[in-house]
C-alpha cells in the first residue's frame, strides 16, 4: 500500500508459513518494520541500550540492509535501511 507515492504497508504471502508466532516467516502479522536512514547507527544505538540485535543482513531482492530485534513478547521488529 502506498501513500503519496511512498510505501507505507508491505504485505507478503507465503504458501506454507510456519505456525510459530515469533519468527518473521510466521502466519498472521509477521512483524513491524521501521525504515531508518543509517542501519549501522541504529543497530549500534540499540546494542548500546543493551538490546540484543541480529547481525545486519542484506535483502536479496532490494540489496538494502536490515536487522531484527525482539520486543518484550519475543516478537520480531525489523529495522530496514532507507
pLDDT the model gives residue 37? 95
Whole-number average pLDDT of the chain: 83
Kindly report the length of the chain: 82
Residue 49 has pLDDT above 70, yes or no: yes
pTM of the model: 0.69
Residue 58 has pLDDT above 70, yes or no: yes
> 35 — alpha (psi -120 to 50), left (phi > 0) or beta?
beta
> Which positions ≥6 away from 46 have C-beta within 8 Å?
53, 69
* Ordered structural domains, the chain, with CATH: 2-81 (3.10.180.10)
Residue 26 has pLDDT above 60, yes or no: no
Using 50, 70 and 90 to split pLDDT, how confident is the model at 8?
low
Amino acid at each position: 500500500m502506498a501513500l503519496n507515492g511512498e510505501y507505507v504497508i508491505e504485505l507478503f504471502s507465503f504458501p506454507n508459513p510456519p505456525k510459530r508466532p515469533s519468527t518473521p516467516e510466521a502466519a498472521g502479522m509477521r512483524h513491524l518494520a521501521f525504515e531508518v536512514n543509517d542501519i549501522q547507527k541504529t543497530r549500534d544505538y540499540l546494542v548500546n541500550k543493551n538490546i540484543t540485535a541480529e547481525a545486519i543482513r542484506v535483502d536479496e531482492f532490494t540489496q538494502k540492509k536490515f536487522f531484527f530485534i525482539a520486543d518484550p513478547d519475543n516478537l520480531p521488529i525489523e529495522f530496514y535501511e532507507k
